[in-house]
Structure 1
Amino acid sequence: MSEGKKTALVTGANKGIGFEIARQLGIQDITILVGVRDLDRGEAAIQKLRAEKIDATVVHLDVTDQASINAAAAFIEQTCGRLDILVNNAAIAVQEWSTPPSQLSFEDLQKTFATNVFGVFAVTKAMLPLLRRSQAGRIVNVSSEMGSLAINSDASSAISRMPPTLAYNASKTALNALTVFFAKELQDTPIKINSVSPGYVATDLNGHSGHLTTEQGAKAPVSYATLPADGPTGGFFGANGQIAW
């Protein structure tokens, strides 16, 4: 890797928003590390990226497996020497629609947090030494308005009137908390970390019910992954600016 060329790791990047974030970063001449659980799907993704002249490499990364995370960090250190951008995109949603919180299974809550919260924490912690070697490290936690306590508690908001989705929504609330506290730790460094919502994008996660395309949804995360030195840190943003916590 050349000294001047940036490297970005995008988790869950073999499809959907993650793939499109990787593609939009790649066309900016950023080397892309496609973090995936399934190597075959990852290989298919990087072939698509390479067809657009994007420098892309697949990295086996299961965010719920510490050994996999450690191996990915070691691989990046050996091949790149540092990391400039981390996009924590990998996430799941269990089929909890219309399930009251009291009827949600503990296993579904635990499974959701394992990927959407604990996985982000583990990956961020493992990649921080590499990000500290960057002149301008950037971390984007792909979040959602569904995790906004202000919006969920506002009776006039459309989200507050939606069927309950405790596991997913609470996981994004907790993800936002990670953003705040990592930002506090990193406030005296060049690293910037923000929660960014892509909006309601049509993906496998929501049964393709979203009204935005992946191309539209990827724009905000890509923007915050490439912030200038005077850009914000420790915030919650979407395509239209700041989102209430």
Structure 2
Amino acid sequence: MTTTLITGANKGLGHETARRLLAAGHDVWIAARDRERGAAAAQALGARFVPLDVTDDQSAAAAADTVRAASGHLDVLINNAGITGGRIPADDLTAADVERVFATNVFGAVRVIHAFLPLLREADAPSVINVSSGLGSFTVVTTTEWGRFVTPAYSASKSALTMLTVQYAHALPDIRFNAVDPGYTATDLNGHSGTQTITEGTDAVVRLATLGPDTPTGGFFDRTGPVPW
């Protein structure tokens, strides 16, 4: 059975990803900072729960210890936890605002990857999927209508996450690393203004999480295929 851990999975895209992967036969760990909500979500879905604050080294290490004790390995790690940081005008944007977004969206992913690398290496075909965004694509924001969304901290964090994905793929060829763009999906992050359903928004990550040994590496995908850099 494929063992999968999803960060920020007590609601939204992470929760729907967990539901779909459980239906596909995965043994799913829901990781969330909020213990009460995370445990409730896991119980409702029939998943396992592990507390994990992606901004805290000790929390990530403890989560890895919990998964090791129960499962012994990790086949798929999905770095889904993320924040937008709010719509702060560029004139008012401070370094602290950007640091807060990067703390979760970028440093959080690195922290979790580092903590779980030994468990991933115990798997036969380990895979890491980082949930990025089309708003982090230079091509998308400079050549399409999405350029009208001015989100400096969020977009920069997702660009950084996508580049980290590529660098990990080059540096660690024994593990598949890919980034996904969920697309404009109705979630709490955008006040449910997105035009895609929550299920459509998880299509890309679910596809990658279920490919096993056929999983590519170093790519950036949405539900229709490759996303331009």
State the TM-score, normalizing by the size of structure 2: 0.97
Report what 2:114 is aligned to: 125
Structure 1 residues 182-197: aligned runs within 5 Å: 182-187=168-173, 189=174, 191-197=175-181
1:242, distance to aligned residue in structure 2 (A)? 0.5
Asked if 1:140 corresponds to 2:129, the answer is yes
Q: How many residues align?
A: 229
1:43, distance to aligned residue in structure 2 (A)? 1.6
The one-letter amino acid paired with 1:45 is A
Partner of residue 67 from structure 1, selected from 58, 72, 89: 58
Structure 2 CA distance for aligned equivalents of residues 230 and 114 of structure 1:
32
Report what 2:165 is aligned to: 179
Report what 1:220 is aligned to: 204
The one-letter amino acid paired with 2:7 is T
Report what 1:23 is aligned to: 19
> Cα RMSD (Å) of the superposition?
1.1
Structure 1 CA distance for aligned equivalents of residues 43 and 199 of structure 2:
19
In structure 1, stretches of 5+ residues that fail to align are: 51-55
1:166, distance to aligned residue in structure 2 (A)? 0.3
Give the stretch that moved more between structures: 76-85 or 110-119: 76-85
Structure 2 CA distance for aligned equivalents of residues 210 and 114 of structure 1:
25
Asked if 1:76 corresponds to 2:59, the answer is no
Report what 1:166 is aligned to: 152
Structure 2 CA distance for aligned equivalents of residues 115 and 231 of structure 1:
26
Structure 1 CA distance for aligned equivalents of residues 142 and 203 of structure 2:
28
Structure 2 CA distance for aligned equivalents of residues 182 and 16 of structure 1:
26
Structure 1 CA distance for aligned equivalents of residues 178 and 203 of structure 2:
14
The structure where helix makes up a greater share of residues is 2
- Superposed CA offset, 1:77-134 (max 9, x none): 111110011000000011225x12x431221100000000000001011111100110
Structure 2 CA distance for aligned equivalents of residues 228 and 60 of structure 1:
26
CA contact (8 A) 2:129 2:180 kept: yes
State the TM-score, normalizing by the size of structure 1: 0.91
Structure 1 residues 1-80: aligned runs within 5 Å: 5-50=1-46, 56-80=47-71
Report what 1:53 is aligned to: none
